Structure 1
Amino acid sequence: MRSFGLAHVDPSRVIHAFPDLEPGTEGCPRACGHDEPDCALDGWVAEGHADRARLYSLRRLLATRERTEGD
């Protein structure tokens, strides 16, 4: 049985599933994948605007998408 994959989803649209994190992306560099060292979400979450677990979930989804894309 195959699992649901996100390979067909544009990575820039995945953030829309996290409305609590989306405002924090305003300071991100252009074409940010939200898992880079200069991603603005790290500072935004550290300031207490959102739960760190939500950022972890976003990044886990993005990583899953990247892994399935290479298959």
Structure 2
Amino acid sequence: MAAKKDSKSTKLVLKVVTGTDAEGKALTSQRSIANVNPAISDDDLLAIGSKLGALQAHDVATISRIDSASLVEEA
């Protein structure tokens, strides 16, 4: 039987630098936006992430797209 993806969802994650620890390493925090349309292009999602990042009080370290789906067997 072949596997098929089902119930695909996408979220946008901004990782922001919130400070440094005692050793000088960057401390980060994540801002997640769920329920993003999975059909959105990577370019459009990056543009949206950049605009949202500009609204943050902290500097943005990374902008990520996380896609997830369930795998089911096809009959």
TM-score (norm 2): 0.31
TM-score (norm 1): 0.32
Higher strand share: 2
Higher helix share: 1
